[in-house]
Amino acid sequence: MATHDPAPEDQAAARAAAAELDKLTAAFNKAEGNLEKARTPLHEAIVKHLKARSAPPGLIAEHTPYDRNHVGRLGKAAGVPPLRGANAAPAPEYDDATQAAALAELDKLTAAFRKAEGKVEDARGPLHEAIVKSYAARTLGPGPIAKHTPYDRNHVGRIVKAAGVPLIRG
């Protein structure tokens, strides 16, 4: 059975596309790492303030990117006793100054988290564009693209399909 050896210019285009994907993937992975670095102190502060009863969980949720239920899940996972139910802790009395300081800390950490989220979105766009460009030009198929991105070949197909590019068959 004969094998298909791409022309040298096709090989050069494939190498260039792979290099571009590698560069964009590195930027995307760095942005995701920074997001995780911003998420960790935010979660730690939420748990700290839930344990210290610095502010009510609903108010804590208003000053974070999470809803009250997620804040409760974070607290439960960290072993914070609930405010209601059979295992409820004594009803806390919230101090206005302590509450204001806690909410100010959460606001600061939430701003850093949202900024990091924005950087991930800023890095995702060019990566997806390069994936679509490489696929649409038939420079790289889904398998080689997947090797140079954080996605598997099925997700590459979903990105391409969402962009309206016809799928490669055969």
The per-residue pLDDT for range 54-112, each reduced to its tens digit, is 999 999 999 999 999 999 999 999 998 888 877 777 778 888 999 999 999 999 999 99
- The model's pLDDT over 21-34, given as tens digits with 9 standing for 90+, comes to 999 999 999 999 99
DSSP state of 66: S
**Which pLDDT band holds residue 4 (cuts at 50, 70, 90)?**
very low
What's the start-to-end Cα distance of the chain, in Å? 17
Token output for 40 = 């960790």
> Would you list the DSSP string of 36-64?
HHHHHHHHHHHHHHHHHT-S-HHHHHHTS
